[in-house]
Amino acid sequence: MSYRILTINPGSTSTKVGCFEGEKELFTVNVAHEASELAKFDGISAQLPYRKQTILAALEEAGIDLATMDAFVGRGGGLLAVEGGTYEINDVLLDHAIRGANGVQHPAQLGPQLARGFAQQYGKPCFVVNPPDTDELTLCARITGIKGVYRNVHLHALNLKETAIRHAASMGKRYEDCNFVVCHIGGGISISAHQQGRMIDGNDIVGGEGPMAPTRCGAVPAAELIRYCYAHENRKEVSSLCTKSGGFVSHLGSSDAREVCAMAANGNRYAALVWDTMVYQVIRYIGAMAGVLHGKVDGILLGGGMVHNRELVASITDACSWIAPVTAYPGEFELEAMAAGAIRVLEGKEQAKVYTGKPCWSPDELEV
């Protein structure tokens, strides 16, 4: 039996919706939302009725009948740290999504709300799969040089894990039997170490770790960052360097990687230096993740929008192929990953996990 799944991935200015029957994509659409329209709402969750109507209109135009769905999957924003996997949307998970329990306001919070609403209407199950707060760090990866300050991880977990699952299958193996360094190189850059089915380390793309990216500063020397903060009194402006105004935006005033490449190609030496620095930092963090895996790496996998750039892939391959074979998966598998996670549960290959509302780790674990 092939299960039919509707997937919903709300973003800042659009909502991606997909309909899948087994692995077959029946329909996808990227429903655009005018910024002026979204600005009318007081908070993310207040957008729910508006986003729901735009989705229903797009599905009606495509002739998609929600009554034929076997399950609904939403992007899982607003949650506390969880282990990877597929989670049924229970009341606790829904409450955390509505209010953004993790303290980060992001449109992905609407994913569980939309999926749960459709599921209740049609009497079907609903899930989130490898939500943004997926956290499987080892204890050694959590401790920093300041007592009481711990590393948390925010990564493109959904796409990272799906890329690894697919690559393992292409090798005739299970994800749980492989070690990979997996990268998502796009507006944000995630670089992660996967050891036998667990993402044991990676950079915090929200907290200012890892390579610089089009809109993100990445890791900055602590003393220099403190100096910078004292010199700039606007806390909101400084904080935005982590996610909105760092990286390419800070250096070149553009978040468009294609524009930066064009600037470099047209003789802008500073643009070329900034681009080369980003690539250098990606290579450095791949090496670090390979070290975390003790050099036992079955593959280095590259995903995300910038992986369409062949020169980028060639540079990383030239620098890192001595560690393990480098394979490019341009773009992302997010909608496909959401459907695949639900199907694994429906087919009995995985057990749906229960969201308890408690983070998957506590500082109490670190007490000695």
Q: What pLDDT is attached to residue 368? A: 56
User: What's the pLDDT tens digit per position in 43-54?
Assistant: 899 999 999 999
Sequence-ordered list of residues with C-beta below 8 angstroms from that of 79, at least 6 positions apart, any chain? 93, 96, 97, 101, 102, 128, 131, 132, 133, 355
Confidence of residue 140 (pLDDT cuts 50, 70, 90): very high
Percent of the chain with pLDDT over 90: 85
How high is the mean pLDDT of the chain? 94
Q: What pLDDT is attached to residue 365? A: 75
Domain boundaries, the chain: 4-134+335-366, 157-331
What DSSP string runs through 108-169? GGHHHHHHHHHHHHHT--EEEES-TTB----HHHHB-SSTT-B------HHHHHHHHHHHHH
**Between 3.40.50.300, 1.10.1040.10, 3.90.550.10, 3.30.420.40, what CATH number should domain 4-134+335-366 receive?**
3.30.420.40
User: CA angle at residue 339 from 22 to 189, to 5 degrees?
Assistant: 135
Q: State pTM to two decimals.
A: 0.92
User: What's the pLDDT tens digit per position in 213-257?
Assistant: 999 999 999 999 999 999 988 888 888 998 889 999 999 999 999
Residue type, 127: F
Summarize the confidence of residues 70-76 as an average pLDDT: 97
Q: Which CATH superfamily is domain 157-331 in?
A: ATPase, nucleotide binding domain (3.30.420.40)
Confidence of residue 364 (pLDDT cuts 50, 70, 90): confident
Q: Are 222 and 209 in contact (CB under 8 A)?
A: no
